[in-house]
Amino acid sequence: MNIKKNLPALAVLAAVLLVWKGAVVLFKLPPHVLPAPEVVAARLGQIVFSPIIWGHLATTMTEILIGFGSGVILGLIAGYALAKAPTVEKVLSPFILVFQTAPKISLAPLFVLWFGLGLTSKVVLIALVTFFPLMLNIMVGIRSVPPDYISLLRILHAKPMQRIFKVELMSALPYIMTGLRVALVLSVTAAIIGEMMGAKSGLGFLLMTGNEMYDIPLVLATILVISLLSWGLDAGMKALQNRLLVWHESST
């Protein structure tokens, strides 16, 4: 970790902690309203070294991996197909717009009723929120391929698979990676909300448990774990993006 590079972020974090601690001391806030930072840190350390949190984390990660993977595959296939069939895309665009703008998180209670409290309801919700960013980004990416590239491939008698994988998908890769990063963060949110609506385990379930028990330190510690999970997944995706797009201006 480059301390100098991350110094502004660390300064902001220190300021937030100081304001937090100052508010607790100044207004004499009780722990059940807002516990002090050290209390939350102690509770975070307590749950991190407990095997219980790792079981909840494993449940949430399983939901994210399966749902995210399913949504990515379906989104890439649908996006490529619609990019190649503009007439079909025009016919379906009103329906796509309706589904895209609808608050998909509001479907979580329905999915719990339809698919139960287990893994399936969360996977379906995550796949749904992952699907649209990937589909829309690959549509834009495929349509942004310069026509001269396609003409050159025809002259060279390139095979369809060569055109798809070596030109179209490579040209669309910056758009795809952007869609992946957006979808991955949304998948964490969908998993947590799905678990809060109804689950037997998971970080969202742990969050609801702390809320029902009025255990504010547990709630805040769980929120920190969820935030760190989101940050870690996005950092991993950003590292992959930089590795795959060393030739592109988006690489840092």
Would you say residue 122 lies in a domain?
yes
> What are 28-48's pLDDT values in tens digits?
888 878 888 888 888 888 888
Please report, for the domain that includes residue 62, its CATH number. Answer: 1.10.3720.10
Would you say residue 212 lies in a domain?
yes
Taking residues 199-210, report their average pLDDT. Answer: 88
Would you say residue 14 lies in a domain?
no
Taking residues 226-235, report their average pLDDT. Answer: 91
Name the more confident of 135 and 93: 135
Question: Which domain covers residue 155, as residue numbers?
Answer: 58-244
Is the distance from CB of 176 to CB of 134 less than 8 angstroms?
yes
Would you say residue 154 lies in a domain?
yes
Of 68-72, 99-103, 143-147, which one has max mean pLDDT?
68-72
- As a whole number of angstroms, the distance between CA 207 and CA 204 comes to 5
- As a whole number of angstroms, the distance between CA 149 and CA 81 comes to 19
User: What is the enclosing helix (H) or strand (E) of 6?
Assistant: none
Q: What is the pLDDT of residue 171?
A: 85
Would you say residue 123 lies in a domain?
yes
Q: Of 64, 38, 78, 81, give the one whose Cα is nearest residue 192.
A: 64
User: Which of 114-123, 172-181, 241-250 shows the lowest per-residue confidence on average (mean pLDDT)?
Assistant: 241-250
Please give the tally of structural domains in the chain: 1
Confidence of residue 63 (pLDDT cuts 50, 70, 90): very high
Q: Of 108, 116, 123, 130, give the one whose Cα is nearest residue 67.
A: 123
Does residue 144 come out as left (phi exceeding 0), alpha (psi in the -120 to 50 range) or beta?
alpha
Would you say residue 12 lies in a domain?
no
Work out the percent of the chain whose per-residue pLDDT is above 70.
Answer: 94
> What are 182-202's pLDDT values in tens digits?
999 999 999 999 898 888 889
pLDDT of 1 > 60? The answer is: no
Would you say residue 53 lies in a domain?
no
> What are 135-151's pLDDT values in tens digits?
999 998 888 888 887 77
Would you say residue 186 lies in a domain?
yes
Q: What is the pLDDT of residue 95?
A: 79
